[in-house]
Structure 1
Amino acid sequence: MYKTIIIEDEQRLREALSIMLEMTAPDEIQVVAYAESVEEAVKLIDRLKPDLVFMDIMLKDGTGFDVLKQIAFNSFHLIFTTAYEQHAVNAFKYSAIDYLLKPIDPEELKMAIDRISLLQERVLEKQQLNELQINLSKTPDRIILPTQEAMYVVKLEQIIRCETSGSYTTFFLSDGRKIMVSKPLKNYEDLLEPPAFFRIHQSHLINVNCIVSYSREGMVQMNDKSFVPISRAKKEAFFKLMKDEI
């Protein structure tokens, strides 16, 4: 049972989320408090030490980031709730931070709760929050790659290619590093999209700017000296992209 605090400055949204939690996860969630301001949220988190916090980004006297900067206790799971549009949604994805879009969908809420059970670490890294704030203010040019060892901040231009194997994806970077994350490639396909990136094969996504050569037979050479196959289904779209880029 997760001891939960809802931080939201609109009463009807607080009540709606609470009802949805009772309906979707009655045996997993216990809502113990509500807050509608930064000051109130900080006091409640430090006093009650919750397991899970749902937090709106925009509060009546500040932001969710103000709350996170002031709390002493931070060993909890965090899910942001936001009404932001697609640009900001991508910022959350690039920063590897969980979020729910308003109005909250009960199925997405249940999936978010299910994801929590798979996470061992409860402390949200400051690095992630810093990246989120940066990405919310501009078009994201960096991505957070979470591994068991660390959170890696990677510039998009450093990514040469990505290769997936089952539920894991390995990022091959221009400095020679290989970073493996425990997520399939489809989780990153919406973030690494054309024209800069292209899903060239079921198992491969490449940075178009790192292509050295490609053949009509269906093979691409990257600038890390690797060779990546072009799937039959992707050939036409790939050659069109190359023609448009040139």
Structure 2
Amino acid sequence: MNVYLIDDEQANREVLQILIQKYYPEIKIIGESDNLNTFLESRELQQKTDLLFLDILMPDSTGFDLLNQLDKRTFEVILVTGFEQFAIQAFEHSVIDYVLKPIDKDRFCSAIEKAKKRLSENKLIESIKNQSDNRHKIAVIKNKKTHYIACSNVAYMIGQSGGYTTIFCKDGESYLLSRSLSNLETDCSDISYLLRVSQSIIINLQDILTCDQGGSGYIGLKTNDFEVFLPRRKKRDVLQQVEGYLKSKA
């Protein structure tokens, strides 16, 4: 695993270096910086990096400024900060973890383990993508076994904090996946019956049982009698897409 460090204070970068060298000597630190530009302006660095330790508050910018400027992020991110109030923004940017300063050893190791698991799963997913017969399947690890979920068996998916997603299947099974909902949405973009209906929910249009257009509007699914209440700003667009899909299958 290749790691890059961004923090405007050298002492903080040194703490991270010591923790990595002591508890994860197999991890390679490929560079560090006291500003965002060094990393932002180097496509080569971004491509080499597997995990980025990123400070939030810096003199002229924030870590979120960097994340906002990266269209397609191929590395995982652990935010390191002395402030608790950025947790919601961290979730919105699908970072793998959020570690407070001064850094606790156990908290640091927990974040690293999450990153290692995510990166391992990402490699598995990439290998599956290259197999045509698995194009419409989602790979998940449960009880140390790899399961391949047919997208047609997915009833709905709910995004969780820390870039995780819970998948609920028509057959009654559920799986916690170490991938963000946005990441899954991108992978399933060519599957017409999977639709993101809110910030945190993707549903299978084939599983719709009821559709109420009154008020804010909601959609009822067969699986688990699950009901999705639609955000007002997305109601019209979502209901139009639902209607269009159902008409195409009539």
Counting helix residues as a fraction of each chain, which structure ranks higher? Answer: 2
| TM value normalised by structure 2 | 0.47
